[in-house]
Amino acid sequence: FSLSSQWGECAPGGHSVLQNPYRSTTFSSGRLQPSALQDFICDHSLTAGWYQFQLFNKRASMPTQCVEVNHCGTQAPVWLSLGAGESLPGPLEVRQLTACAAWQMFQSSVKDCCMFRIPVTVRNCGAFYVYLLQPTQSCMGYCTSEALPTTSPISDRPPAPSAPVIVSEATGSTVHLKCSFESSSSSSLGFVVAWSRLSSEGRKEELKQETTIHTSAFIELDGFNLRLGDKIYCSSSSFFLESPDVRSASVESLEFFAGIKIKPEESVVSEDGGWYELVVESTIPIPCPDGSFSSADPCILSLQLSTSSQVFFWSI
């Protein structure tokens, strides 16, 4: 007996799938950086219709308990509220229920689990639920509860990522540093990435920490928090999305110097009239006069080298 043959919304073509892992109730969207605002989930543009929730290709469902503000990849998470005497539909059943959007007023410590109400119809398709959803009133997001249990115990520590590598990238007139690493696991993992720099006293100062599901993270070379001449590091650790408190060991990158290097750093030059080669290398892109990193005109950086007796000038 096939439920999908009786109820069109249960058939594969009768509903759409929402499977963005940011929708998980365990994901803290408060840690999404301003540069990643495009990753925030806003269902005000969602097309009305039937939807099934999935997390990493595993069937999931809407949570039925209040979700903390700034979770599920949005600021106002939407969860399924079951009132007194209400329950999810049994097999073959369909029910009209109400979803609630949690919200916290600006500069207020009071949180409202049901600031906004949205009607939701739920169909039990036997092995999964489908939900008749409509666009939200503003930038809110429908939540997904934790994925079904996996065969491996989530209490085990997740595998650590590979050693991160830092490279510089230019976008417009802005330079970012990119911290990249690899994960050998096919499990549902998230990552914590931390940036630090070496202070003048030789201590590492943390600049930024973020949570992501991607195997890379960025930080801007803004001239204030991060400047030319800084020695920079990034570290990464992994965690199971189903158990975010259990983390792997943290793995740190090699030192990245942001600026201009001369190789070799020390050299003995004899006054014999011979030629000696010094390699001048910039670890970051050099902007052109118009502020971009690509120009029809030659991009020239003038350097000054000094010795105890003479001063030399040249351009590269």
State yes or no: pLDDT of 298 exceeds 70: no
**176 and 69 housed in the same domain:** no
Is residue 39 classed exposed, middle or buried when 0-12, 13-18 and 19+ CB atoms within 10 A define those classes? middle
State yes or no: pLDDT of 2 exceeds 80: no
> Smallest Cα–Cα separation from 35: which of 168, 196, 221?
221
Q: Which of 217, 235, 257 is the last residue of a domain?
A: 257
**134 and 175 housed in the same domain:** no
Predicted confidence (pLDDT) per residue in 207-228, tens digit? 888 888 899 999 998 888 888 8
Tell me how many degrees the CA angle 48-50-55 measures, rounded to the nearest 5.
110
**16 and 130 housed in the same domain:** yes
| Angstrom distance (rounded) from CA 101 to CA 82 | 13
Task: Give residue 180's domain range.
Answer: 165-257
59 lies in some domain: yes
Mean pLDDT (whole number) for 28-39: 64
151 lies in some domain: no
Predicted confidence (pLDDT) per residue in 165-197, tens digit? 999 998 777 889 999 999 877 667 889 999 999
**233 and 180 housed in the same domain:** yes
**39 and 136 housed in the same domain:** yes
Residue of higher predicted confidence among 7 and 305:
305
Predicted confidence (pLDDT) per residue in 233-265, tens digit? 999 999 887 777 778 888 999 999 998 888 777
The pLDDT score that the predictor gives to residue 50 is: 96
The domain that holds 244 is classified in CATH as: 2.60.40.10
Measure CA of the first residue to CA of the last residue in the chain; give whole Å: 76
Tell me if 100 sits within 8 A of 79, measured CB to CB: yes
State yes or no: pLDDT of 280 exceeds 50: yes
**116 and 173 housed in the same domain:** no
**138 and 7 housed in the same domain:** yes
| Angstrom distance (rounded) from CA 134 to CA 98 | 12
**Tokens found for residue 87:** 């329950």
| Angstrom distance (rounded) from CA 220 to CA 192 | 18
293 lies in some domain: no
**68 and 134 housed in the same domain:** yes
b/e 297-315 (16+ beta carbons within 10 angstroms → b): eeeeeeeeeeeeeeeeeee
State yes or no: pLDDT of 48 exceeds 90: yes
pTM here? 0.48
| Angstrom distance (rounded) from CA 26 to CA 14 | 29
Residue of higher predicted confidence among 79 and 29:
79
Is residue 177 classed exposed, middle or buried when 0-12, 13-18 and 19+ CB atoms within 10 A define those classes? buried
297 lies in some domain: no
Please state the domain count of the chain.
Answer: 2
